Amino acid sequence: MCYMQVYILTITLNFLLMWQVFWDKLLLQRYLVVIQVFLLVKCLFQAARDYDVVLLLASSDCASDSSCSEGQLTLSALINRSLIYLQHGDYSNALSDLLSAAKLSPRDKTIYQTLGVCYHKLALYILNPSFIVVFVVAAAAC
C-alpha cells in the first residue's frame, strides 16, 4: 500500500469512528424518550428493559465516574430501574441496582433510604444484625 492509500484509509476509519459515537448518542437519546413514554403509560417492564439498553450504551470509560455525563446517566438509570423493580416487588434486582448506584454516589441519602427499604422487604437485616450498625454509620456519613 502506498502512503496515500494508508492516509485515505486512516481518514475513513476516523470518520466511521466519529459516526459511531454520534450514532450511539442518538440511539441513547431515542431510548430515553421511549422510556419516558413507557413510564407515562405504566408499561414498567418495557421501561426496565430499555434501561438495560441505556446502561449498555452508557457503559464507557466514564461510566464509573459520576462527575461526567455518562456517569450521571448510569447513576440515574440504575436508580430509576431499581424503583421500577421495587414497584414490581423484585427486591433482589432492586437491591443489586441500588448497591451499584451507591458505589457511584456514596453520599446520596436517597439511595441509602431505598436500600433500607429493600433490606427490610428482603428481611436481610434479621440474618445479619451487624448490617444495621454499618448501614447507620454509612447513612450518617452522608
pLDDT by 10s per residue, the chain, length 142: 565 655 566 666 566 555 665 666 777 777 777 787 877 878 888 888 888 888 887 775 454 444 556 678 888 889 989 999 998 888 889 999 999 999 888 888 889 888 888 888 887 655 555 555 555 556 566 5
CA distance 42 to 48: 11
The DSSP H or E segment spanning 89 is none
The domain segmentation of the chain, as residue ranges, is 3-140
CATH of the domain spanning 3-140, picked from 1.10.3720.10, 3.40.630.30, 3.40.50.10860, 1.25.40.10: 1.25.40.10
pTM: 0.67
